[in-house]
């Protein structure tokens, strides 16, 4: 079993829909949780990061962490065609660790 599991999709939704992306993990030492977006032929770019269990909102994006269930989510409201990309969850054990463990990524297409 991989340390981080993420449904690879692909996921196709109509413009304006609410998108839910999820990851589960098995390593209880993970404390820092990140979501990256990767466009085709580009490197990943950071979208959101969270530390504790709970919700964090940034514009149309909400990150949710449930450490008791070892489950994290990213919600995208009012999805736009420009949100079409691969979304990767990532985790680390320590604040200063650059050794991230990634999910395989979910490919999202938002249809106009």
Partner 1 sequence: KAGVTQTPRYLIKTRGQQVTLSCSPISGHRSVSWYQQTPGQGLQFLFEYFSETQRNKGNFPGRFSGRQFSNSRSEMNVSTLELGDSALYLCASSLGTSGGLSYEQYFGPGTRLTVT
Return residues touching partner 1 (CB under 8 A). 6, 32, 34, 36, 41-46, 49, 88, 90, 92, 94-105
Please report, to the nearest 10 degrees, the dihedral formed by the alpha carbons of residues 45, 51, 56, 58 taken in order. -30
Q: How far is the CB of 106 from partner 1 (least distance, A)?
A: 11
* Shortest CB 40 distance to partner 1, Å: 11
Give the nearest distance from C-beta 82 to partner 1 in angstroms.
Answer: 19
Given the complex with partner 1, which of 45 and 78 has the nearer CB atom? 45
Cβ-based nearer residue to partner 1, 23 or 76: 23
Instruction: Give the whole-angstrom CA distance, residue 103 versus residue 65.
Output: 15
75 vs 102 by CB, closer to partner 1: 102
* Separation between Cα atoms, residue 17 and residue 101, nearest integer Å: 29
Please name every residue paired with 78 in a beta bridge, in sequence order, or none if there are none. Answer: none
């Amino acid at each position: 079993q991989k340390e981080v599991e993420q449904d690879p999709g692909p996921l196709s939704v109509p413009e304006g829909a609410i998108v839910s992306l999820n990851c589960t993990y098995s390593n209880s030492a993970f404390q820092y949780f990140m979501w990256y977006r990767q466009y085709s032929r580009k490197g990943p770019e950071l979208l959101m990061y969270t530390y504790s269990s709970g919700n964090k909102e940034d514009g149309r994006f909400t990150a949710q962490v449930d450490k008791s269930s070892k489950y994290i989510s990213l919600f995208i409201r009012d999805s736009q065609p420009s949100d079409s990309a691969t979304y990767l969850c990532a985790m680390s054990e320590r604040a200063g660790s650059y050794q991230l463990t990634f999910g395989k990524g979910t490919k999202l297409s938002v249809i106009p």
